[in-house]
A and B are shown apart, each in its own frame.
Chain A
């Protein structure tokens, strides 16, 4: 069996384009095999590399299980979806695009809440008065829990939100949110404010290697070759 190295890249949108540009600028031309809408690809001149096009969150999942050797995806998704992340994957390279900050944001009218400590202090009063915990809307359930634990905030419940998270405090389904932002405009439009120490993660697209994948028999060597190209200066 000839050994190949499998690299997963995002299958659509800006992330796909920027990944392709990043690779091309360093002498690695990604191209699709067969139909343009297909999900199989290759790197021109590399018979021993398979490119697969997947959604960004599927890439995080397959890095965990080891179905792929390497992948390009957001650090936020990798940290959210892989428990014990440093044992399962290795972050090889920050790619300089796909920037997104994962932040804790509260209604701007909460003049008494500027830090995570303020939040915890207020949470106790809130619980006494409303007979429930504060509701935090987010799709980052694990990151939120880890960050809130680290910041010693306990008086909250997570409400899973898979879209339009910024609207939940105004709509009444949550009291505050954890979400990604790049310019802060959407937060402002929804009368939300980022807490002073509410930056959970400065995320960007990363090239990540799976520790669970099978690296013996050639894959490790091909990786070295690919990495030497990717670590070089862009043309």
Chain B
């Protein structure tokens, strides 16, 4: 623990100035200042993002045994503020800004299954605590308009502190989901691909699996059970499964019902007899994911892809083009921007447009801000339905290190 620095902020004056200027930009744009709690219930993150969060977050128990955490980001805490206010009054639309510390464990566990051996490497920066300033828009607004507004305001805040020299990386998870919807395949396969999209290798593995003749390595008895239920009604199938368990003297224990187990078996039986996913369809998915081009050129590329494959992507394409038009109208310079189909796959709760702002020629180290659309988060945090949401945050510590105080 000797490497823990005594000060949270190396240069307090620079940080204060930065924070001030960025906050004023947000304030002027009509955003309301909120101050989400630093300590959060760990449960919210564990349910939302899963156990992976423990690998990078300070999760601890209090003497009562309740699990708490130091917030690893400000989006989820801001969403909780919105939800709390929804319960008190009808919040409907809200525009918030915030600024404050977030906390991450400075070592990262390898996220992929390729990396064997040692389980952690120091993350860049090696700091446990860093400040973020950001904005969130909740509630029904014209989607593309809100997206462009968030990006524009983030860029303005950066300009306000003298940073102009950057690249913008963009992606759109909505486009991918639209593509998946347009390709003809069993719904359960689509679900599997969609839910594994943000995990690269699993996604590749599933694609490979689906493209091969299905060969479930079950013991013969189970295989014959699958054959037996394949053409049965769910009720009859359930009866067969019940008889199978009884014959083997296996008791039904735990929360899962016989019906749930049977349903999964029926899906597996269906996989046994389904034709593998055609190579052409896999090819479309791969071709899409390879797209990396200037944002303005992407529309045509997608159009080509859709036409060759005979897919209808009109709605998704219209939205994309509309966003491009709005970006141009908002005087956002797209010369230093790049659209990458794969971009955004790392962030688990994003659902649509995503972006990242990087200092020129600095690679990932130059990553100073990022954001995106996350329309499912509020619902999964407890609201009765999906609420459109988009936001962005600036990493103030990295920004301070980059500008080194002298441009202020």
Interface residues of A (CB under 8 A from B): 83-87, 107-114, 121-122, 124-126, 129-130, 132-133, 141, 144-146, 148-152, 154-158, 169-170, 172, 175, 191, 196
Contacts of B107 in A (CB 8 A): 83-84
Known: A109-B250, A112-B268. A152 touches B260 (CB 8 A): no
Known: A84-B107, A84-B119. A156 touches B51 (CB 8 A): yes
Q: A175's contact among B192, B245, B252, B254, by CB below 8 Å, is which? A: B254
Contacts of A109 in B (CB 8 A): 245, 250-254, 256, 261
Q: Is B125 interfacial (CB-CB < 8 Å)?
A: no
Please list 27 pairs of residues, one from A and one from B, whose beta carbons are closer than 8 Å in the complex, sorted by A's number. Answer: A83-B120, A84-B118, A86-B117, A87-B118, A109-B250, A109-B251, A111-B225, A111-B261, A114-B218, A121-B192, A122-B264, A124-B191, A126-B256, A129-B260, A132-B47, A133-B47, A145-B51, A145-B52, A149-B55, A149-B109, A152-B196, A154-B51, A156-B51, A169-B254, A175-B254, A191-B250, A191-B251
Known: A122-B264, A150-B113, A155-B50. A111 touches B253 (CB 8 A): no
Q: How far is the CB of B259 from chain A (nearest CB, A)?
A: 10
Q: Is B222 interfacial (CB-CB < 8 Å)?
A: yes
Q: Among residues 249 to 306 in chain B, which have CB atoms less than 8 Å away from a CB atom of chain A? A: 250-256, 260-261, 263-265, 268
Q: B113's contact among A145, A152, A196, by CB below 8 Å, is which? A: A152
Q: Among residues 157 to 192 in chain B, which have CB atoms less than 8 Å away from a CB atom of chain A? A: 191-192
Interface contacts beyond A107-B254, A111-B245, A191-B251: sample of 14 additional A-B pairs, CB < 8 Å, sorted by A: A83-B120, A84-B119, A85-B119, A107-B253, A111-B244, A111-B261, A112-B261, A112-B264, A112-B268, A146-B109, A152-B113, A152-B201, A169-B254, A175-B255
Q: How far is the CB of B268 from chain A (nearest CB, A)?
A: 6
What's the Cα separation between A125 and B196 when bound, in Å?
14
Contacts of A122 in B (CB 8 A): 264
Known: A86-B117, A145-B55. A133 touches B50 (CB 8 A): yes
- Does B191 lie within 8 Å of A111, measured CB to CB? no
Contacts of B263 in A (CB 8 A): 125
Q: Is B202 interfacial (CB-CB < 8 Å)?
A: yes
Q: A191's contact among B47, B253, B268, by CB below 8 Å, is which? A: B253
Q: Is B241 interfacial (CB-CB < 8 Å)?
A: yes
- Does B265 lie within 8 Å of A112, measured CB to CB? yes
Q: Among residues 90 to 131 in chain B, which have CB atoms less than 8 Å away from a CB atom of chain A? A: 107, 109-111, 113, 117-121
What's the Cα separation between A198 and B261 when bound, in Å?
20
Contacts of A146 in B (CB 8 A): 109, 119
- Does B199 lie within 8 Å of A111, measured CB to CB? no
Known: A130-B255, A145-B54. A125 touches B264 (CB 8 A): yes
Name the residue on B nearest A151 (C-beta).
B113
- Does B46 lie within 8 Å of A157, measured CB to CB? yes
Contact size range, B: 35 or more
Known: A109-B250, A111-B241, A172-B254. A84 touches B199 (CB 8 A): no
Q: Which among A86, A112, A114, A170 has the greatest number of chain B C-beta atoms within 10 A?
A: A112
- Does B52 lie within 8 Å of A154, measured CB to CB? yes
What's the Cα separation between A16 and B263 when bound, in Å?
50
Q: B50's contact among A151, A154, A175, by CB below 8 Å, is which? A: A154
Closest 5 CB pairs of A and B: A112-B264, A152-B202, A86-B118, A84-B120, A150-B113
Contacts of B110 in A (CB 8 A): 149
Contacts of A158 in B (CB 8 A): 51, 54
Known: A83-B107, A86-B118. A156 touches B50 (CB 8 A): yes
What's the Cα separation between A87 and B120 when bound, in Å?
9
Contacts of B201 in A (CB 8 A): 152
What's the Cα separation between A124 and B197 when bound, in Å?
14
What's the Cα separation between A133 and B46 when bound, in Å?
9
What's the Cα separation between A12 and B192 when bound, in Å?
49
Name the residue on A nearest B50 (C-beta).
A154
Contacts of B225 in A (CB 8 A): 111
Contacts of A108 in B (CB 8 A): 250
Contacts of A112 in B (CB 8 A): 261, 264-265, 268
Name the residue on B nearest A114 (C-beta).
B218
Q: How far is the CB of B299 from chain A (nearest CB, A)?
A: 33
Q: How far is the CB of A50 from chain B (nearest CB, A)?
A: 25
Known: A83-B119, A149-B109, A151-B113. A110 touches B51 (CB 8 A): no
Q: How far is the CB of B103 from chain A (nearest CB, A)?
A: 17
- Does B254 lie within 8 Å of A170, measured CB to CB? yes
Contacts of A132 in B (CB 8 A): 47
